[in-house]
Amino acid sequence: MRNFVQLRPRLQAAADMIQAANHAADIGCDHGRLSVALLQQGRAQHVTASDISEPSLEKARLLAHKCGLQERMSTVVSDGISHLSIGDADAMIIAGMGGELIARILGAAPDVAHSANTIVMQPMRGVEELRRFLRENRFCITDERLVLDAGRIYQIIAVTPGEPAAVPAWFLRDEYSLGYMMFEKNDPLLLPLLEQYKQGHVKRLQQAKNKGVSPDALLDIIKRADTLINLATEMKK
């Protein structure tokens, strides 16, 4: 096919979690590459690409035209999912935003969000806030993946509406930085992610110590990270 869009690993991993959607909504589409790829890869019949920024949307429109997909891809300027009504989209995908913003977007129209069969999210940061929001707002995590892109490990989370599954007894209570599915899958990127997570907090602790303080919260996080590292190592055996 001419003008076949190749996605970078972060976006391809998110796209892989959408299958056979009738109408997918790509929220915060920016360049529109993900929207176009969902159509080209046969993952959705129709896509609505939306963004809060008109100049971003213009890029998406141009790409859709270039790829001859303007009939199956509509574009709209919108804050979050405010352009959608209940049942408009059976799949939603929100990539490249902060976890808190994703939570705010879903929380602003919970009935619309709950009417999708699948919502795939790729937060750039704020994963804990997002996971906590999902758990407290009747979104059940169905799949979680890690992906390495340009030296950084990203988390991708897919949910369906409904009560969250019970957290297994072997997993840490109230752990929102990571999901237990990554442990069950023995994801090869899990240990590197945990090490990065721990080292980030060790560095912060060192900086705090240099200023003469040693915050208990940081010590707790490092201790939890060690527990998670041990858990992931044990599950690998």
Ligand X SMILES: C[S@@+](CC[C@H](N)C(=O)[O-])C[C@H]1O[C@@H](n2cnc3c(N)ncnc32)[C@H](O)[C@@H]1O
Tokens (6 digits) for 151: 């030296």
Interface characters, 35-74, with ligand X (x: CB under 6 A): ----------------xxx--x------------------
Helix (H, G, I), strand (E, B) or coil at 120: strand
CA-closest candidate to residue 10, choices 127, 110, 146, 117 = 146
- Say if CB 96 and CB 29 are below 8 A apart: no
Site membership for ligand X, residue 79 (CB under 6 A):
yes
Report in angstroms how near the CB of residue 46 gets to ligand X at its nearest: 18
Report in angstroms how near the CB of residue 116 gets to ligand X at its nearest: 16
Site membership for ligand X, residue 80 (CB under 6 A):
yes
Tokens (6 digits) for 117: 């069969």
Question: Which range of residues in 39-47, 92-100, 164-172, 189-197 is near ligand X by CB under 6 A?
Answer: 92-100
Site membership for ligand X, residue 99 (CB under 6 A):
no
Site membership for ligand X, residue 97 (CB under 6 A):
yes
Site membership for ligand X, residue 96 (CB under 6 A):
yes
Report in angstroms how near the CB of residue 75 gets to ligand X at its nearest: 12
Q: How far is CA 100 from CA 96, 128, 141, in A?
A: 12, 9, 17
Site membership for ligand X, residue 109 (CB under 6 A):
no
CA-closest candidate to residue 60, choices 81, 25, 32, 21 = 32
Q: How far is CA 34 from CA 37, 47, 54, 216, in A?
A: 5, 10, 17, 42
For residue 198, give every residue at least 6 positions away whose Cβ sits within 8 Å of its Cβ, in sequence order, or none.
222, 225, 226, 229
Question: Which range of residues in 16-24, 26-34, 127-135, 175-183 is near ligand X by CB under 6 A?
Answer: 26-34
- 121 versus 231: smaller Cβ distance to ligand X: 121
Site membership for ligand X, residue 123 (CB under 6 A):
no
Return residues touching ligand X (CB under 6 A): 11, 27-30, 34, 51-53, 56, 79-80, 95-97, 101, 105
